[in-house]
Amino acid sequence: MRFLKKPASVKGTLLALLLPAGIGLMGVAWLVHGLLLDRMSREFVESRLKDEVVFLEHQIRDANGEVDTLQTGDYFQDVFHHAFAIHTPEQTIISPDTWEPLLTPLIENEEDGTVRVEDAETTDTPLDILAYRKSFQVGETPIVVIVSEDLGALKRSQAALHAWTAVVSVLLIMLLVAVLWFGITMSMRPVVTLKAALKRLQDGVISRINVQSPEEFHPLVLQLNQLLDSLDQRLERSRDALANLSHSVKTPIAAVRQILEDDTRPLDTNLRRQMVERLSDIDRQLEAEMRRSRFAGPQIGKSAYPIKQARDLLWMLGRLYPEKSFELSSSLPEDTRWPIEEHDLNEVLGNLLDNAGKWSSRCVELSVEQGSGFKRIVVADDGPGVNHKDLASLGQRGLRLDEQTPGHGLGLAIVRDIVTRYEGKISFSTKSCSGLRVSIELLR
């Protein structure tokens, strides 16, 4: 059965399954047909023998038991196709004569009904006969009548019929194979068109798969097209990002280079400061675009271990801020998996924790929960918190609320972008003397 588990081709598997099954069923049908034929013909012969015995009995009764007056001989042999024996105490008539050794024992047997004699040890007689014996009395005379038929002849004609059935069966099997082949080829045709469509897609002839596919293939085609869409989107995004980047980076580079190449111009403090500013701009732009382009967004087949990653990040921040305590609160097992790309989750956790670490006075707590249909990440610190009016603008692009703690103010914007990409929600809240609390809820 191994070949069933790992089919090399659908067509091959179907044929390998259906063909032996078809042949087997046909064979069984043929055998059953043979058995039924055998039984039916026997029953038919039996009933005919009975009829003839009744007919003979009737004749004998009409003749008042005078068996001699019956027109035996030619007449009976013409009317009867069977051998028969009539026995009275006075005489025994057996026709044809050659059957005598077969029928005599039956007369003496004294048992009425159907009798079958096989492999009779006599010569010149059939080997296999069916006989019907009946004894009755006409007046005072007991009479025994036996009619019998040669089953061998019947069997021979039956065998011929059976052989013909076999021939018809073989023909039917061949027809079945043809129909199967046709059916499989027909039902596999969408796969062929799909294959052709993929080939054309690869060659760039078409940009999306648009074939009439049967219901079973709809999800496949849909997934493929979605994959193509996301690839296109990614390409477009990265092109946009690169265009933006090159626009915002080339200008400051040109300015700085122009100043450096001009050796007649003295490099005073003001100029240096300006150049440093330009370079910082370049760095900021690079950093922002690179981090944006690095995150993947929801992807099929990607998952992350939130607890393991959170633990590593908390440990790292604990080492970087040795005077602060970074705690994990979660009841999820270590090997919990979330359908988020690993790097994306790291970026979310890392930025939130780093931010909290910068602002907290002593303690940062990360809690990771999941329930039916939602996953939640909450990062809370015990720092000064944020003004209520500023809460809504947290994480907006290019906005920094502080100027003292180093950083680009980019972290929260990145987190916000990633969460949006995963169709999640991010919310900020602050309570008096409890710092900022960032809550992220993912619904996937």
CA dihedral sign, ordered 211, 214, 218, 220: negative
CB of 282 to another protein, least distance (A): 9
CB of 279 to another protein, least distance (A): 8
Q: Count interface residues toward another protein (CB under 8 A).
A: 32
Choice between 87 and 324, CB closer to another protein: 324
Choice between 84 and 326, CB closer to another protein: 326
Let me know: does 439 contact 376? Beta carbons within 8 Å.
yes
In the set 117, 143, 314, 377, which binds another protein (CB under 8 A)? 314
Q: Which of 156, 164, 134, 157 is nearest to 51 (CA)?
A: 134
Site for another protein in 82-141 (CB under 8 A): none
- Quick check: 404 binds another protein (CB under 8 A)? no
In the set 139, 204, 266, 322, which binds another protein (CB under 8 A)? 322
Choice between 218 and 294, CB closer to another protein: 294
In the set 270, 331, 387, 404, which binds another protein (CB under 8 A)? 331
Judged by CB under 8 A, the stretch of 62-70, 122-130, 147-155, 330-338 that binds another protein is 330-338
In the set 65, 126, 306, 350, which binds another protein (CB under 8 A)? 350
Paired residues of 230 in beta bridges: none
In the set 318, 336, 367, 384, which binds another protein (CB under 8 A)? 318
Site for another protein in 259-298 (CB under 8 A): 279, 283, 287, 290-291, 294
The token duo for 239 is 């092109």
- Quick check: 242 binds another protein (CB under 8 A)? no
- Quick check: 349 binds another protein (CB under 8 A)? yes
Rounded Cα–Cα distance for residues 319 and 416 (Å)? 26
Cα–Cα–Cα angle for 268, 274, 276, nearest 5°?
Answer: 100
- Quick check: 433 binds another protein (CB under 8 A)? no
State the helix-helix crossing angle for 218-261 and 269-294, rounded to 10 degrees.
170
In the set 232, 236, 334, 390, which binds another protein (CB under 8 A)? 334
CB of 292 to another protein, least distance (A): 12
- Quick check: 356 binds another protein (CB under 8 A)? no
Rounded Cα–Cα distance for residues 12 and 185 (Å)? 11
Judged by CB under 8 A, the stretch of 115-123, 244-252, 313-321, 390-398 that binds another protein is 313-321
In the set 100, 312, 369, 441, which binds another protein (CB under 8 A)? 312
The token duo for 299 is 């992807």
Let me know: does 418 contact 347? Beta carbons within 8 Å.
yes
Three-state DSSP string of 318-363: HHHCCCCEEEEECCCCCCCCECCCHHHHHHHHHHHHHHHHHHCCCE
> Which residue shows structure tokens 């111009």?
265
Choice between 28 and 286, CB closer to another protein: 286
Choice between 311 and 421, CB closer to another protein: 311
In the set 343, 421, 425, 437, which binds another protein (CB under 8 A)? 343
Choice between 99 and 326, CB closer to another protein: 326
Let me know: does 131 contact 103? Beta carbons within 8 Å.
yes
- Quick check: 236 binds another protein (CB under 8 A)? no
Rounded Cα–Cα distance for residues 144 and 236 (Å)? 108
Dump the DSSP string for 172-202: HHHHHHHHHHHHHHHHTHHHHHHHHHHHHHH
Rounded Cα–Cα distance for residues 293 and 273 (Å)? 30
Choice between 326 and 338, CB closer to another protein: 326
- Quick check: 347 binds another protein (CB under 8 A)? yes
CA dihedral sign, ordered 15, 16, 21, 27: positive
How far from chain centre, in Å, is Cα 132? 63
Q: Which residues bind another protein (CB under 8 A)?
A: 279, 283, 287, 290-291, 294, 311-316, 318-320, 322, 324-329, 331, 333-334, 342-343, 346-347, 349-350, 406
